[in-house]
Amino acid sequence: MRIAHVTDVYLPRLGGVELQVHDLALRQSHLGHSTMVLTTTAPAMFQDDVPTLRITGVGAGPYRRFGGEALGSTLRAHGIEAVHAHVSAFSPLAWTAARSAATTGLPTVVSVHSMWHDILPLVRRFARTLDAASWPVQWAAVSSAAAGAVREALDGTPVAVLPNGIDPAAWLLPPTPPASAIPTFISVMRMVRRKRPRALLRTLLALRETNPNFRAILVGDGPLLPRLRRATPVCPEITFTGALNRTSIRSLLASADVYIAPAPRESFGIAALEARSAGLPVVARAGSGVADFIQHGVEGWLVHSDVELQNTLSSLLDDPSRVAAVSAHNRAVAPCVRWDTVLDAADELYARAAAFLGRRAHA
């Protein structure tokens, strides 16, 4: 099958959507599909191993409008047989691709990669303006939590779950003997408001007041990083590394004890899944996408507030046997979300989209 992945944001920009679209297209090609990526993100000296068509449009940066007729013509010119549109909060190209499915007759899957809860009234109004709930497309989201908001925005339209993919074996390194007996917490995130690094820092600083016997490594770059570093000049036990590549992150995970995912509006949590695949227990917010692969008390712990997060971390410092038990489980049992199940689920969604078009044609 010749599949076009349509995304406003793509490599060389780095982010969850960009990497997942690339990896999904690449792995589908390894299975025999013919895949390509359509995007408005500029190339900027980047050599891709997935065929990529970078189109221009009206707007700034990667978020550019591109006419539905022009997009339909482009898809036909490349012999596309299925469209997979990747939507976040604001994705004019991907929305256009989804809408054009109503007139081109191409089987289309629309994957939502973000949490719409905080912008639900706006998205619902926008979707109703476009009559999106009536489009002959298969809707999906990256987690059960994200799917719930998409379903509400589309007035009850069925929304499947198509999670992000991962190769668990690539993250499961032999544990690194600690340089000291001090427990290590780790978190990997973009240093932006919605990921809540400031709230995590406040939690860690408050925890040090009552239980100072730990260190924390916070990985990632973003606009909040300078301010966060200034807030911890006299606390060398809390380290901000800045951006690191996957190899360096794997090494840090192998030497850490517990992973923390503090954002309640985490649509999926690929970094948390990578940590869980590396064998780390994960402490995350209940109601986020992380809850799809972290069972409370099995692969980690789910908390409902920053206070509960602090209390949970404190209890784990007081009882390291709980951490050891969950870590042993995570190292022995692969996560339920991995590339083979994701690729099978994607194929099923393409088949559903084709069947949906067939039913509409004979209605």
Residues 162-208: pLDDT tens digits? 999 999 999 998 877 765 689 999 999 999 999 999 999 999 999 99
- Within the chain, residue ranges assigned H as helices are 16-30, 68-77, 92-104, 120-130, 144-153, 168-171, 197-210, 225-230, 246-254, 270-277, 306-318, 320-332, 339-362
Which contiguous run of DSSP H or E holds residue 59?
Answer: strand 58-60
Query: What single-letter amino acid sits at 313?
Result: L
pLDDT tens figures, 196-246: 999 999 999 999 999 999 999 999 999 999 999 998 877 889 999 999 998
Question: For residue 103, what pLDDT is reported?
Answer: 76
Q: What is the mean pLDDT of residues 64-92?
A: 89
Query: CA–CA separation, 339 vs 24, rounded Å?
Result: 8
**3-class state of residue 189 by DSSP:** coil
Whether the CB-CB separation of 186 and 260 falls below 8 Å is answered with: yes
- Taking the C-alpha atoms of residue 10 and residue 14, their distance in angstroms, rounded to an integer, is 8
Rounded (10°) angle between helices 320-332 and 306-318: 100
The predicted-structure confidence for 7-66, as pLDDT tens digits, reads as follows 999 998 878 899 999 999 999 999 999 999 999 988 766 677 999 999 887 676 677 777
**In terms of DSSP bridges, do strands 300-303 and 282-285 run parallel, antiparallel, or are they unpaired?**
parallel
Q: Domain residues for 195?
A: 168-332
The pLDDT of residue 189 is 95
CATH number at residue 187: 3.40.50.2000
Of 8, 3, 9, 42, which is closest to residue 26 (Cα–Cα)? 3
pLDDT at 348 over 90: yes
Does one domain contain both 205 and 153? no
pLDDT reported for residue 175: 77
213 shares a domain with 183: yes
Residue 270 and residue 355 in one domain: no
Instruction: Report angle CA 308, 310, 311 to the nearest 5 degrees.
Output: 65
Q: Are residues 176 and 272 located together in one domain of the fold?
A: yes
pLDDT for residue 216: 97
318 with 357, same domain: the answer is no
Alpha-carbon distance of 283 to 363, in angstroms, equals: 49
Kindly state whether residues 203 and 319 are assigned to the same domain: yes
Bond into 197 cis (ω within 30)? no
Q: Cis link prior to 168 (omega < 30° from 0)?
A: no
Position 60 scores a pLDDT of 66
Q: Is the CB of residue 38 less than 8 Å from the CB of residue 74?
A: yes
For the chain, how many structural domains are there in total?
2
The verdict on 321 and 243 lying in the same domain is: yes
3 state SS of 308: helix
Q: Are residues 96 and 60 in the same domain?
A: yes
| pLDDT tens figures, 244-258 | 998 999 999 999 999
Residue of 359, 358, 361, 345 lying closest to 140 (CA atoms): 345
Q: Summarize pLDDT for 291-323 with one digit per residue, the tens.
A: 999 999 999 999 999 999 999 999 999 999 999
Whether residues 250 and 318 fall in one domain? yes
Say if residue 148 is in the same domain as residue 184. no
Three-state secondary structure call for residue 354: helix
CA dist., res. 69 & res. 45, Å (int): 29
Mean pLDDT, all residues of the chain: 92
Query: Does one domain contain both 175 and 70?
Result: no
Spell 265-279 as b/e; 16+ CB within 10 A means b: bbbbbbbbbbbbbbb
Residue 358 has pLDDT above 60, yes or no: yes
Output the pLDDT for position 26.
97
pLDDT of 101 > 80? The answer is: no
What DSSP designation does 337 have? Answer: -
Q: Do the Cβ atoms of 151 and 163 come closer than 8 Å?
A: no
**9 with 143, same domain?**
yes
363 pLDDT exceeds 60?
Answer: no
User: What pTM, to 2 d.p., does this model score?
Assistant: 0.91
Which token pair is 177? 């003997």
Q: Residue 82's closest CA among 356, 339, 338?
A: 356
Confidence of residue 361 (pLDDT cuts 50, 70, 90): low
- What one-character DSSP code corresponds to residue 141? E
